């Protein structure tokens, strides 16, 4: 039976006689400076990922030899941090552009499988109290467990009929709901919401809401901007502050909430595949969502390894919340009472 030459060539590059090229690149043969400039991360970080993902990326194959986990990780990091499948990058590690695409898919899924390991709210009271103390030290806002906001990431149009991913600017995107702590570590990341959904609708339907309403921390809350509805566990700014206490509350709220905006800029700066400068993510919404989540996992791992917490803002346009200045009025009387008590107790 004849084998199509295009399939044969791809298999040779991935598994067959072309395996000699797969071993051409060795981490020990290059400098840290080269690794950071080409793949975005230093040697120690890459070696950690090889240890973390190696078993998953070394799944058994009937072929004579598969691409090594090290090479797969380098290919994926190259794409995440540059936003493109550059031929020169594939040449550097000895694989084709098609093989790089497959490596990105493998590494992405391996990271997504571990998302709950690296992106989660702490459970023990001592760590929760540390969260609150760290936030309080920023601007005097008490009881804060995290800051929440949405950001849009541009994707290619799924198909001509599907308008659910068209946002208010007429672009196709995913609306991603994220929560971070005072250092920018992500505590929650839901990256799959269609771009047509307003931020308040995303939060209403999100697993995050279910988590806080069923496992409610009665002496703590998230901070969200005015695109969200006030809730007992979600403090929003006052639309028109009138008293000194209300002004102080809004100022503390704004200074604290700014952490999530800085976190978005850090992620955009580090992972250029998300910032729009190389165009939209050329994948289905599901695969694009997984790539975003994989970058979120890498963001948290990088902070664990002491890599720069706040990166300088980059060019590009990882879209911020489109409802940032659209005030949402709460009808939750209990939530209004909680905020008023907070004003009286801490800002009067």
- Residue 348, classified by CB atoms within 10 Å of its CB into exposed (0-12), middle (13-18) or buried (19+), is exposed
Distance CA 13, CA 31 (A): 26
Q: What was the pLDDT predicted at 320? A: 46
In this predicted model, what pLDDT tens digit does every residue of 142-154 receive, in sequence order? Answer: 999 999 999 999 9
Domain boundaries of the chain, sorted by first residue: 30-56+66-115, 119-283+330-345
Q: What was the pLDDT predicted at 288? A: 96
234: nearest Cα among 144, 125, 139: 144
Calculate helix-pair angle for 69-82, 32-39, nearest 10 degrees.
60
Distance CA 328, CA 225 (A): 9
Q: What was the pLDDT predicted at 323? A: 46
237: nearest Cα among 322, 147, 136: 147
Q: Report, in angstroms and rounded to the nearest whole number, the Rg of the chain calculated over CA atoms.
A: 22
Q: What was the pLDDT predicted at 38? A: 85
Distance CA 195, CA 198 (A): 8
- Residue 158, classified by CB atoms within 10 Å of its CB into exposed (0-12), middle (13-18) or buried (19+), is middle
pTM of the predicted structure, to 2 decimals: 0.87
Q: What was the pLDDT predicted at 316? A: 44
Q: What was the pLDDT predicted at 326? A: 53
Q: What was the pLDDT predicted at 85? A: 66
C-beta of residue 254 within 8 angstroms of C-beta of residue 246: no
Residues of the chain with pLDDT under 70: 1-25, 59-65, 85-92, 160-161, 216-218, 278, 308-331
In this predicted model, what pLDDT tens digit does every residue of 77-95 receive, in sequence order? Answer: 999 998 876 656 666 677 7
Q: Look at the block and give the residue holding tokens 């955009």.
A: 268
């Amino acid at each position: 039976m004849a084998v199509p030459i295009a399939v044969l060539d791809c298999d040779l590059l991935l598994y067959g006689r072309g395996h000699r090229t797969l071993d051409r690149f060795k981490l020990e043969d290059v400098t840290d400076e080269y690794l950071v400039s080409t793949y975005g991360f230093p040697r120690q970080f890459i070696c950690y990922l090889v240890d973390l993902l190696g078993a998953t990326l070394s799944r058994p194959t009937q072929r004579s030899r598969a691409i090594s986990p090290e090479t797969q990780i380098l290919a994926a990091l190259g794409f995440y941090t540059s936003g493109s499948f550059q031929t020169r990058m594939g040449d550097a590690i000895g694989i084709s552009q098609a093989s790089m695409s497959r490596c990105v898919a493998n590494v992405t899924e391996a990271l997504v499988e571990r998302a709950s390991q690296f992106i989660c709210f702490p459970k023990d009271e001592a760590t929760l109290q540390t969260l609150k103390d760290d936030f309080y030290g920023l601007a005097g806002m008490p009881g804060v467990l995290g800051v929440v906001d949405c950001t849009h990431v541009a994707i290619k149009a799924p198909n001509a009929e599907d308008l659910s991913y068209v946002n208010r600017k007429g672009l196709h995107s995913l609306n991603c709901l994220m929560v971070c702590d005072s250092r920018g570590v992500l505590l929650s990341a839901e990256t799959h919401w269609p771009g047509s959904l307003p931020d308040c609708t995303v939060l209403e339907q999100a697993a995050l809401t279910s988590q806080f309403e069923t496992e409610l921390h009665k002496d703590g809350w998230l901070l969200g901007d005015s695109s969200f509805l006030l809730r007992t566990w979600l403090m929003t700014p006052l639309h028109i502050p009138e008293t000194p206490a209300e002004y102080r509350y809004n100022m503390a709220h704004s200074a604290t909430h700014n952490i999530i905006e800085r976190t978005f800029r850090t992620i955009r700066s580090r992972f250029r595949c998300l910032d729009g400068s190389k165009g939209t993510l050329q994948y289905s919404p599901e695969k694009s969502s997984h790539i975003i989540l994989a970058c979120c996992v890498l963001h948290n791992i990088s902070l664990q390894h002491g890599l720069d917490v706040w990166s300088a803002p980059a060019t590009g346009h990882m879209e911020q919340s489109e409802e940032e200045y659209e005030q949402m009025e709460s009808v939750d009387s209990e939530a209004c009472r909680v905020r008023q008590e907070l004003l009286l107790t801490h800002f009067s």
